[in-house]
Amino acid sequence: MTENIGSEFTFDEGRIGDILERSYRNPPIVEALCEVYFSGASWDEALPERFFEEVKQEFPKKEERPKHKAEITLGESGAATTEVQTLPSVFQFVNEEEHRIIQVSDNLLVVNQLQPYCHFEEWEEQFYKALDIYMKLTSPDKIERIGLRYINRFEIPISPEKPIFMADYFAIYPTVPQSLGKIHGPFLVRMQVPQNDDRHTLLIVFGTEVVPQPTEVVPQPTEGKQAFMLDIYDIASLDIEPDERELSTEIKLAHENVVKTFEDSLTNPLRELLGVEEKT
């Protein structure tokens, strides 16, 4: 169980304009990804194989993921009809260590970094390599939208004698009316936060770890600990020419937004659990 102090959903804006990125001995990042949505890309059935030829030395594993879209329509009689539309597949290229993935599809490029997490600058370089190949092969007309997403998982010690006080570890958390008491169980909160640059919006999702379905494999919390998930997703609607310099500026801004949100969502006791690494 967890305990709260306060009367409303809380988010500490913290140090506006002061971006401080720390390194941790036990980084909580489960997955990070950078995605680009294009328009006017020249996509055909042969393109995934051509892309694979360009990256197979570093990403030798290939997998096709079919995509479908279901539309439900209500008729005048109230009867529902379902139409399933087949969409272009997503093709995944995975490195030998299976901790980095490139995904491509019609008007879409995604690079995923899984655990063990490295610094952003390391997998960012891989993203731009994949971007160069994708734009060379497909010649898109525009970059419509980008997304930079970091999914974090924290384990906090807990016991019947020592419940978790949310404000001790997080600056972002739900609260309940005082009449209901201070203790609550699992929760999930979601909010959108517009940024100073009108094109960027942060989507923040925070909650206790979801109980897995029978077919899912997720990390199990250590005995005596409660797991929390913090998902930070910067989305930017751009509609710009496919220029790498302009795109890199927007990705850098998205990364700064994510880092600031992450750091301002934690307290020092949680940073101590993660183990802040001193810069030398």
Instruction: Give 50-70 pLDDT, tens digit per residue.
Output: 999 999 999 999 999 988 677
- Banded model confidence at residue 96, pLDDT cuts 50, 70, 90: very high
| Same structural domain, 179 and 273 | yes
Q: Quick check: helix, strand or coil at residue 33? A: strand
Task: For residues 79 and 98, give the distance between their C-alpha atoms in angstroms, rounded to a whole number.
Answer: 46
Residues 1 and 111 in one domain: no
Section 249-255 average pLDDT:
96
Domain assignment of residue 79, yes or no: no
In this prediction, residue 1 carries a pLDDT of 53
Whether residue 197 is found in the same domain as residue 239: yes
The terminus-to-terminus CA distance of the chain in angstroms comes to 39
What does the pLDDT look like over 186-245, one tens digit per residue? 899 999 999 988 899 999 999 998 654 544 445 555 568 899 999 999 999 999 999 999
Tell whether 115 and 237 lie within a shared domain. no
Give the contacts of 255 (CB within 8 A, at least 6 positions apart): 120, 148, 234
Of 78, 112, 140, which closes a domain?
140
Name the CA dihedral angle for 253, 254, 256, 258, rounded to a multiple of 10 degrees: 170
Whether residue 22 is contained in a domain is answered as yes
Domain membership of residue 279 as a residue range: 1-28+148-280
For residue 223, the model assigns a pLDDT of: 64
* List of residues 6+ apart from 241 with CB closer than 8 A: 142, 143
Residue 20 in domain: yes
Domain assignment of residue 240, yes or no: yes
The amino acid occupying position 20 is L
- Residues 172, 122 within the same domain: no
| 153 shares its domain with 273 | yes
Measured between alpha carbons, how far is residue 9 from residues 69, 91, 190, 233, 234 in Å? 35, 40, 10, 19, 20
Q: Which of 108, 140, 172 is the last residue of a domain?
A: 140
Q: What is the pLDDT of residue 8?
A: 38
Does any domain span residue 33? no
Local confidence band at 73 (pLDDT 50, 70, 90 cut-offs): confident
- Per-residue confidence band for 12, with pLDDT thresholds at 50, 70 and 90: very low
Kindly state whether residue 74 falls inside one of the protein's structural domains. no
Mean pLDDT of 29-58: 97
Q: Which of 269, 224, 271 is nearest to 25 (CA)?
A: 271
Please check whether residues 135 and 53 belong to one and the same domain.
yes
Token look-up 């919390």 returns 221
170 DSSP assignment: B
Residues 123 and 156 in one domain: no
Q: State both tokens at 36.
A: 């680009």
Count of domains in the chain?
Answer: 2
pLDDT at 279: 61
CB 258 within 8 A of CB 148: yes
Inside any domain, residue 36? no
If asked whether residues 107 and 179 sit together in one domain, one would say no
State the average pLDDT for the chain. 86
The answer to whether residue 124 is domain-embedded is yes
The distance of Cα 52 from the centroid of its chain, to the nearest Å, equals 25
The two three-digit tokens of residue 160, written as one number: 């019947």
Q: Note the pLDDT of residue 9.
A: 39
Mean pLDDT of 118-122: 89
pLDDT at 19 over 90: no
Based on the domain organization, do 279 and 166 belong to the same domain?
yes
192 shares a domain with 100 = no
Instruction: Quick: pLDDT tens for 146-198.
Output: 999 999 999 998 887 788 889 999 999 888 888 988 778 889 999 999 998 88
DSSP 196: S
- Model pTM? 0.84
Q: Is 233 in the same domain as 168?
A: yes
Task: Return the closest-CA partner of residue 267 out of 8, 10, 17, 9.
Answer: 10
H-type alpha helices, the chain = 47-55, 120-138, 166-169, 244-265, 268-274
